Amino acid sequence: MDSEKDVSRRAVLCGLAVLTLGLIPEKAIAASGVKVLANGKVEITLSKNPALKKVGGVVQFSNSQGLKIALVRVGKGANEYRALNLSCTHEGTNVVRSGSKWVCPNHRAEFATGGEVKVGPAKANLVTIPIKSSTSKVIVG
């Protein structure tokens, strides 16, 4: 019961922090073209995720452990993608998309689209997750 109260209070405080900071998370990414495989990795079908056609495009999803992940197009080349663990490298709060950056609603650290830390208190870039890509799919994990 106490843990339910804690989670609820945490959720409310996080929501208030987002509102206070004026951060409005981007529209949730549809699950279309995002599939969790039996081995726990996540397969992204590029043709079903047009956001990834342009550099700076982002698709967000969760893996089988509930980890929030963003796949980002970081270059024009066919395999220039980066998967980011969206847990802030300061204290682990999930960052949210705000314009062309990621912002932590907890202590306001900011990261570039590609995960590079821009404003503290976080000192490290968002953690990358290994990927394998082809012309049609990206496997994350």
Among the listed ranges 39-47, 71-79, 85-93, 132-140, the one in contact with ligand FES (CB under 6 A) is 85-93
Nearer to ligand FES, 50 or 92 (CB): 92
Q: Could you write out the DSSP letters of every residue in the chain?
A: -HHHHHHHHHHHHHHHHHHHHT--PPPPPP-TTEEE-TTS-EEEEGGG-GGGGSTT-EEEEE-TT--EEEEEE-SSSTT-EEEEE-B-TTT-PBPEEETTEEE-TTT--EEETTS-EEESS--SPPPEE-EEE-SSEEEE-
Our finding on whether 109 is near ligand FES (CB under 6 A) is yes
Our finding on whether 116 is near ligand FES (CB under 6 A) is no
Our finding on whether 96 is near ligand FES (CB under 6 A) is no
Our finding on whether 90 is near ligand FES (CB under 6 A) is yes
Contact assessment for residue 122 and residue 84, using Cβ atoms and an 8 Å cutoff: no
Contact assessment for residue 90 and residue 58, using Cβ atoms and an 8 Å cutoff: no
Provide the minimum distance between the beta carbon of 120 and ligand FES in the complex, in angstroms, as a whole number.
8
Among the listed ranges 30-38, 39-47, 54-62, 89-97, the one in contact with ligand FES (CB under 6 A) is 89-97
Q: Out of 69, 88, 117, 129, which residue is the one contacting ligand FES (CB under 6 A)?
A: 88
Our finding on whether 106 is near ligand FES (CB under 6 A) is yes
Given the rule CB under 6 A, which residues bind ligand FES?
A: 88, 90-91, 93, 104, 106-107, 109, 121-122
